[in-house]
């Protein structure tokens, strides 16, 4: 009566002949275990932090002890980006004087990259000391952090030899606001 139907739902007819011991199946129903195993598997796969953080290295220059130690920058090597609010981006070549004209740029892939690459060749060929380009990045207080990172990124892409983030001068701020 209390038979365990282990023979795959076969007939209940007793086989005549030798009395056999009850044949137990060696199969265990593994379905619940598998369910659990896959549940755990899914959980751990999702909980694992796959995206390890990627980082960009930034190096700020150390302040020289006295101002005489700062080497003079020939104007051919200088390129300045002014970063303003609302993704405004302007640039000028050379050092700031009365004749300085600000040009418009934007954050599209071709803009900054082209300016920097073109000027890199120029700086190398026409400057007195034949050193590479020096890019100065100056941002106003209300510029977005993203814009700064974007410019740093372009510097890494173009492999600009020197770049630094600097404090914006009051005259530059005025010019940026006026444009």
Partner 1 sequence: MPKIKLPRSSPRLDMTPMVDLAFLLVTFFMLTTKFRAEEPVLVDTPSSIADQIIDKDYILLTVGSKGEVFFSMDNKNSRRSLIDKLDERRKLGLSEKEKNTFAVMGSLGVPFNKLKTLLNLKPDERTKFKQDGIPSDSTDNELNDWIHQARLVNANFRIAVKGDQNVHYKEFQGIVKTLIKNSAHRFNLITNLEAAPNTKK
Residues within the interface to partner 1 (CB under 8 A)? 8, 27, 30-31, 33-34, 37-38, 40-41, 44-45, 47-49, 52-62, 83, 109, 113, 117, 139-150, 152-153, 156-158
Task: Pick between residue 146 and residue 174 the one whose CB is nearest to partner 1.
Answer: 146
- Whichever of 67 and 142 has its CB closer to partner 1, that residue is 142
What's the CA gap between 143 and 106, in Å, rounded?
13
Pick from 82, 65, 59, 69: nearest CA to 164: 59
Q: For the packed helices 109-126 and 145-158, what is the interaxial angle rounded to 10 degrees? A: 50
CB of 148 to partner 1, least distance (A): 6
Q: Measured from the CB of residue 100, what is the shortest distance to partner 1 in angstroms?
A: 22
Nearest to 96 by CA among 73, 117, 114, 113: 73
Closer CB to partner 1, residue 94 or residue 152? 152
Give least dist CB 118 to partner 1, A: 12
Residue 26 vs 101, nearer CB to partner 1: 26
> How far apart are CB 129 and partner 1 at their closest, in Å?
25
Contacts of 123 by beta carbon, 8 Å cutoff, 6+ apart: 76, 77, 79, 131, 132, 133, 134
Query: Rounded to the nearest whole angstrom, what is the least distance from the CB of residue 19 to partner 1 in the complex?
Result: 26
d(CA 136, CA 91): 10
CA-wise closest residue to 172 among 82, 98, 104: 82
**Smaller CB distance to partner 1: residue 36 or 130?**
36
């Amino acid at each position: 009566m209390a038979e365990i139907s282990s023979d795959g739902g076969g007939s209940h007819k007793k086989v005549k002949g030798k009395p056999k011991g009850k044949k137990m199946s060696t199969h265990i129903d593994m379905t619940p275990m598998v369910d659990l195993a896959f549940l755990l598997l899914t959980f751990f796969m999702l909980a694992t932090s796959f995206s390890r953080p990627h980082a960009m290295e930034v190096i700020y220059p150390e302040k020289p002890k006295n101002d005489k130690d700062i080497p003079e920058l020939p104007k051919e090597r200088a390129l300045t980006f002014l970063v303003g609010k609302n993704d405004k981006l302007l640039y000028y070549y050379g050092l700031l004087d009365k004749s300085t004209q600000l040009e418009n740029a934007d954050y599209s892939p071709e803009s900054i990259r082209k300016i920097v690459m073109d000027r890199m060749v120029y700086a190398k060929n026409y400057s007195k000391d034949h050193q590479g380009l020096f890019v100065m990045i100056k941002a106003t207080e209300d510029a977005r952090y993203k814009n700064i990172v974007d410019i740093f990124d372009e510097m890494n892409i173009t492999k600009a030899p020197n770049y630094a983030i600097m404090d914006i001068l009051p005259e530059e701020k005025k010019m940026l606001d006026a444009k």
